[in-house]
Chains A and B, each alone.
Chain A
Amino acid sequence: MTNTKPLLKIRDLQVDGISDETRSRIINKVSLDLYPGEVLGLIGESGAGKSTLGLAGMGFTRDGCEIVGGSIEFDGIDLVNSTVEKRRQLLGSRIAYVAQSAAASFNPSHKIINQHTEAPVFHRKFSRIDAETDAINLYRRLRLPQPEMIGFRYPHQLSGGQLQRAMTAMAMSCRPDLIIFDEPTTALDVTTQIEVLSAIRDIVEQFSTAAIYITHDLAVVAQMADRIKVLLRGDEVEENTTRAMLKSPRESYTKSLWAVRSFERKQKPPAKTGATPVISLKNVTAAYAMNDPVVCDVSFDIHAGRTVAVVGESGSGKSTTARCITGLLPPLTGSISFDGTALQPDYRQRSNEQLRQMQMIYQMADTALNPRKKIGEIIGRPVEFYLGLTGREKRRRVEELLAQIELEPTEFVDRYPAEISGGQKQRIGIARALAAEPKFIICDEVTSALDQLVAEGILRLLTDLQDKMQLSFMLITHDLSTVRAIADEVVVMKDGLVVESGPKNDMFKPPHHAYTDLLLSSVPNMDPDWLDNLLASRGVDNIGDAAIEKMNEN
């Protein structure tokens, strides 16, 4: 490799972000070399500058960012000082970009294939007819269903995983030398993710395209990259080949990233038979529209001081079950009881005392906190509302709660949600739930929007609080490593039905229901050969959506 010329050469790159009249360094003297046909993984937590560095590889910066130093050379062409026109000739034709959210990146009012052919026709690589033939060919290679037809649909008619593959095909349309993948699978379910991963890896290998793969998921990058570069707040931490990096990380930061996955709490002994469960669902069926039940005949119990994880892909009815418990969606049939007494199906008919006992922590902390209220008011309101504390007592209680979630009270009380980080927002969400002094908390995907290090902190906090206060959790998640970390019991849902349920340790041991098996096997491992081994054992047609379709046929 060393004797060839690098395709992309970045030297001492410095990028500044300008917001609100203050400058901050986003990338601080980072250098990288990328050789033809090589895949480089960029990892780091959010705010590490991975996306900025990836975009800089195209000579592009987002609004409010500015390259202030260093050089970027693509195949001998200086991208920092070249004209807009010159860069425009490169982008799309020799450098392509695959965005995180394919659903948001496709134009919803044009057919997929028309968007696909735009770049090759514009750059005069292919005629429109040839480009269409080529698109169908690429769709086939990416194993999209019905490759001849799928391009003639509109983006909303495809699933998230299919769109992400279509976007990869689009990036390939001009046979670029370099593709930048910006978290292409972060928004997908595990079962779908694996399909996209194997498709992307295949096609990159087939055309020997160089790629920069940006992600915060180590296990994913281990499958995809030849080399890995770790970034921390704009600085390079270390760079090495994937295998060497996984085997022996040098820096302590890298080691801490690696260690996250090992957090696991012991399973608690099952509750005594005959004990009254905190929450008990019996044959709950619920629907948004008549005759189209989203949740069918669901029953499970949650005991005091236990965590029950409800697992399943998106659309499986996990969140709908939670809405039934909170009373936002009154179930059609079945009953929900709290501490042995039946609850009114509609939350408006429940007493304040019942509402207080049951709290919720949301997935998106951004929308879960009122952006126009200070932290002190957000946490103070339930204190005032349920416990009737005002003035100094309320203030004292708020400070206590902030201390409980490991945030410095005096520093945070007067801030607005926009002024704190994602992990801190999630902690505030937890504090708001705790402020009501509940018995039972529903955690709806609380860690899925967070980085692994931050997520681990949140999980540890939740387990500590549970032990201190004998809280019961219902943990909704699609991430099995979260389940492994803190759950006591697991309920697996698919298409609104409970497929399997039981204690955690039994879950991770065979035999499984076919769907549980698929879920378990789809979680990426840190082993760089994991994807190869999995594909060898299951076959390409037996993963992701394809496997689920087969399951439905049987």
Chain B
Amino acid sequence: MTWTSGFIWMVSIIAMSLFLRPIGRRVPIAPIQHACTGMSLGGAFGYSIAIAIIYLMCWLYFVKELIFFQWFVQGVIGLGIAGYLFRLAGQHFGTDGSRKMFRQMPVTAALGIIIIIGYAIMSIFADWLAPYGQAEIFAKVNVLPGGNPDLGGDPAHLLGTDQIGRDLLSRLIYGGQNTVGIAFITTCLAFLIGTFFGFLAAALGGWFDQALSRIVDMLMSIPQLIFALLLMTIASAWAGSEKWLLTIYMILIIAVLDATRVFRLSRAVGMNIVVMDFFEAAKLRGEKMPYLIFNEILPNAFAPLLAEFGLRFCFVFLTIASLSFLGVGIQPPLADWGTMVKDLAQFINFAVFSPLTAALPLMAASAIALLTVAVNFVVDWVLHRTSGLRE
């Protein structure tokens, strides 16, 4: 695009912003009319830019070379429809309570839930769903995805094979089991440690709180990924040839490092609860610490902790993928999305000539991205519903 066409674009956007309001007022649709009467010139300008961007995206969609953009748009629209249908189904089946929940749910949250359920099913039933084993090696190497023999695919390997001939679809499914499963266990562990000490610090206060908080500050002051790398290096020396032991060490290391963040949150939430009158009443009743923590603090801290759980899960999951990408995480021959991205990364260079080849590393990467986005959608909705952290 030369600077003249850029100039034309700008002028037309400004012109559109001038005419948007008078035209909108004449459209015989009440909400548009109402919006246009109350709109300022700045608002009209913003809408004009939005219209221009939508136009640009429609135009880009039909450019042949941009196959990834087409896939992206198709994916977004497809998922949007799936989420909408899922929500519609939820509104008509189930108990009164669940129907009401679905009526108040935004489409994004429905989409998030459906994706998470999909991932969960895929991970739990990986043994039945995957066509081959995760370490099985075939004669055909570097088969392209798509399953079309004319384009270098193979119907037996729908998503192709990697450099040493392992079926990528199977590895993607087993990778989900390993990465998501380990991330889930790690997050649960981080929460057990973090909330317990966080609430204890909030309820006891004084030197206990100070000591614990300073230790946590110390741990948090070291960049997390680098610290984890350092500890993993030490752990790999301890583990020696026992690869499975290294996975246990990784779970513990990430759990402790992430528990520091959980500690901070649960301490802050707990502090707001311990100053409430009902907590004082319970203290004056002579209740012991376990009752105070589990019956007075925990039920009231549940909503923000649940939201944090979702976010923390994403971070743990990304940390595991990053560690695996760097070669110290989940060890081969176990499949893992981070490792898959690392192994196939060089194919991204072929994007210009052969989009299908470049899609190889992107599949694992987008599996990570999709889950992260889905979890965040759900977390946003939960936060809004409970309004625990809204203010």
- Interface flag for B218 (CB, 8 Å): no
Q: Give the nearest-CB partner of A365 in chain B.
A: B277
A356-371 vs B, Cβ < 8 Å mask (1 yes, 0 no): 0000101010011111
Q: A83-B37, A83-B38, A370-B300 are in contact. Are A328 and B280 (CB under 8 A)?
A: yes
Contact call A373/B277, Cβ cutoff below 8 A: no
- With A and B bound together, what is the CA distance between A85 and B38 in angstroms? 6
- Choose one: A85, A328, A372, A385; the contact of B286 (CB below 8 Å): A385
Cβ-based interface call for B103 (8 A): yes
Name the residue on B nearest A327 (C-beta). Answer: B284
Question: Across the interface, which residues of B come within 8 angstroms of A84, CB to CB?
Answer: 38
Task: Select one of A21, A355, A367, A372 contacting B284, CB under 8 A.
Answer: A355
B103, chain A: closest CB distance, angstroms: 7
> Would you call B287 an interface residue if the criterion is a C-beta within 8 Å of the partner chain's C-beta atoms?
yes
Q: Is the CB of B277 within 8 A of A382?
A: no
B278 and A355 contacting across the interface, CB-CB below 8 Å: no
Distance, CA A372 to CA B294, complexed state (A): 12
**B288-305 interface (Cβ within 8 A of A):** 295-296, 299-300, 302
In the complex the two chains form, what is the Cα distance from A328 to B274 in whole Å? 13
A436 within 8 A of B: yes
Contact B300–A371 (Cβ < 8 Å): yes
Question: Are B277 and A347 in contact, CB atoms less than 8 angstroms apart?
Answer: no
A372 to B100 CA separation, bound complex (whole angstroms): 21
| Nearest-Cβ distance from residue A20 to partner chain B, whole angstroms | 8
| Distance, CA A280 to CA B38, complexed state (A) | 67
Interface residues of A in 377-394 (CB under 8 A from B): 381-382, 385-386
Q: How far is the CA of A83 from the CA of B38 in the complex (A)?
A: 6
B285 at the interface (CB under 8 A from A): yes
C-alpha gap A382/B285 in the complex (Å): 7
A432 lies within 8 A of chain B by Cβ: yes
Q: Do B277 and A364 have beta carbons less than 8 Å apart?
A: yes
Whole-angstrom distance between the alpha carbons of A347 and B37 in the complex? Answer: 64
Residue contact A373 to B37, C-beta cutoff 8 Å:
no
Complex CA–CA separation, A520 to B296 (angstroms): 41
Smallest CB-CB separation from A369: which chain B residue? B278
CA distance A427 to B103 in the complex (A): 36
Taking the closest CB of chain A, its distance from the CB of B180, in whole angstroms, is 31
> B276 near A: Cβ within 8 Å?
yes
Across the interface, which residues of B come within 8 angstroms of A350, CB to CB?
286
A279 CB to nearest chain B CB (Å): 15
Residues facing B in A417-449 (CB within 8 A) are: 432, 436
B286 lies within 8 A of A367 (CB):
no
Instruction: Pick the residue among B276, B284, B286, B302 that contacts A360 (CB under 8 A).
Output: B284
Q: How far is the CA of A350 from the CA of B285 in the complex (A)?
A: 11
Assess whether B281 is in contact with A21, with CB atoms less than 8 Å apart. no
Q: In the bound complex, do residue B277 and residue A367 qualify as a contact, i.e. CB atoms below 8 Å apart?
A: yes
Tell me, in angstroms, the Cα distance from A358 to B174 when the chains sit together: 62
Question: Is the CB of A307 closer than 8 A to any CB of chain B?
Answer: no
B100, B103, B276, B287: which contacts A385 (Cβ < 8 A)?
B287
Q: Among the listed B103, B277, B285, B300, which residue makes an inter-chain contact with A372, where contact means beta carbons less than 8 Å apart?
A: B300
- With contacts A21-B100, A364-B277 taken as known, whether A328 is within 8 angstroms of B284 at the C-beta atoms is yes
B320 to chain A, nearest CB (A): 34
Q: Which residues 255-285 of B have a CB within 8 angstroms of A?
A: 276-278, 280-285
B38 neighbours in A (Cβ, 8 Å): 83-85
Across-interface contacts of A371 in B (CB, < 8 A):
300
Other-chain contact of B299, A360, A370, A432 (Cβ < 8 Å): A370
Residues of B close to A386: CB separation below 8 A: 285
Residues on the A chain within 8 Å of B278, using CB: 367-370
Interface string of B104-118 (1 = CB under 8 A from A): 100000000000000
* B300/A436 in contact, CB under 8 A: no
Chain A contacts for B276, CB-based, 8 A? 367-368
In the docked arrangement, what's the CA distance between A326 and B300, Å? Answer: 25
Which chain B residues border A382 with CB–CB below 8 Å? 285
| Residue among A327, A364, A368 making CB contact with B281, cutoff 8 Å | A368
Residues of B within 8 A of A372 (CB): 299-300, 302
Distance A436 CA – B281 CA, assembled complex (angstroms): 12
The reply to whether B281 and A362 contact each other, CB–CB distance below 8 Å, is: yes
CA of A81 to CA of B37, assembled, Å: 12
Write out, one digit per residue, whether chain A residues 307-331 have a CB within 8 A of any chain B CB (1) or not (0).
0000000000000000000111000
Bound state CA distance, A362 and B275, in angstroms? 13
Within 8 Å CB of B299, what residues of A? 370, 372-373
A330 to chain B, nearest CB (A): 14
Would you give the shortest CB distance from B271 to chain A, in whole angstroms? 14
Most buried by A among B37, B103, B302: B37
Q: Which residues from 445 to 462 on chain A have a C-beta closer than 8 Å to any C-beta of chain B?
A: none
CA distance A85 to B37 in the complex (A): 8
Contact bitstring B80-122, A, C-beta under 8 A = 1, else 0: 0000000000000000000010011000000000000000000
Q: Are B285 and A355 in contact (CB under 8 A)?
A: yes
- The answer to whether B286 touches A326 (Cβ under 8 A) is no
Specify which chain B residues have a CB less than 8 angstroms from the CB of A355 in the assembled complex.
284-286
State whether B280 touches A370 (Cβ < 8 A): no
A-facing residues in B175-233 (Cβ within 8 Å)? none
B104 cross-chain contacts in A, Cβ below 8 A: 21
How distant is B302 from chain A, measured CB to nearest CB, in Å? 8
Name A362's contact: one of B277, B286, B296 (CB within 8 Å): B277
**B40 to A, closest residue via Cβ:** A85
Residues from chain A with Cβ under 8 Å of B296 in the complex = 370
The docked-state distance in angstroms from the alpha carbon of A258 to that of B258 is 61
- A24 at interface (Cβ–Cβ under 8 A)? no
Point out the residues of chain A lying under 8 angstroms from B287, CB to CB: 385
* Docked CA distance A327–B285 (Å): 12
Contacting residues, chain A, for B284 (C-beta < 8 A)? 326-328, 347, 355, 360
**Cα A347 to Cα B283 with chains together (Å):** 9
* B274 nearest CB across to chain A (Å): 12
CA A482 to CA B285, docked complex, whole Å: 28
Please report the C-alpha to C-alpha distance between residue A373 and residue B103 in the assembled complex, in whole angstroms.
Answer: 27
Q: Which residues of B contact A256 (CB under 8 A)?
A: none
Q: Does residue A241 face the partner (Cβ distance < 8 Å to B)?
A: no
Q: How far is the CB of B269 from chain A (nearest CB, A)?
A: 13
CB distance from B282 to the nearest CB of A (A): 8
A352 at the interface (CB under 8 A from B): yes
Within the complex, the shortest CB–CB distance from B210 to chain A, in Å, comes to 18
CA distance A364 to B275 in the complex (A): 13
Residue of B nearest to A373 (CB): B299
Q: Given that A85-B37, A370-B299 are known contacts, is A436 also in contact with B285, CB under 8 Å in the complex?
A: yes
Give B11-41 as 1s and 0s: 1 = Cβ < 8 Å from A's Cβ atoms.
0000000000000000000000000011000
A372 to B273, CA, bound (A): 12
* A108-148 interface bits toward B, Cβ cutoff 8 Å, 1 = contact, 0 = none: 00000000000000000000000000000000000000000
Which residues does chain A contribute within 8 Å of B302, judged by CB atoms? Answer: 372
Which residue of chain A lies nearest to B300 when distances are taken between CB atoms in the complex? A372
What are 18 A-to-B residue pairs whose CB atoms are below 8 Å? A21-B103, A83-B37, A85-B38, A328-B280, A328-B283, A347-B286, A362-B281, A367-B276, A367-B278, A368-B276, A370-B296, A371-B300, A373-B295, A381-B282, A381-B285, A385-B285, A385-B287, A436-B285
Can you add 17 more A-B contacts, CB < 8 Å, to A370-B278, A371-B300? Answer: A21-B103, A326-B284, A328-B280, A347-B283, A347-B286, A350-B286, A352-B286, A355-B285, A367-B278, A368-B277, A368-B278, A368-B281, A369-B278, A370-B300, A372-B302, A373-B299, A432-B281
- Shortest beta-carbon contacts, A-B, top 3: A372-B299, A368-B277, A84-B38
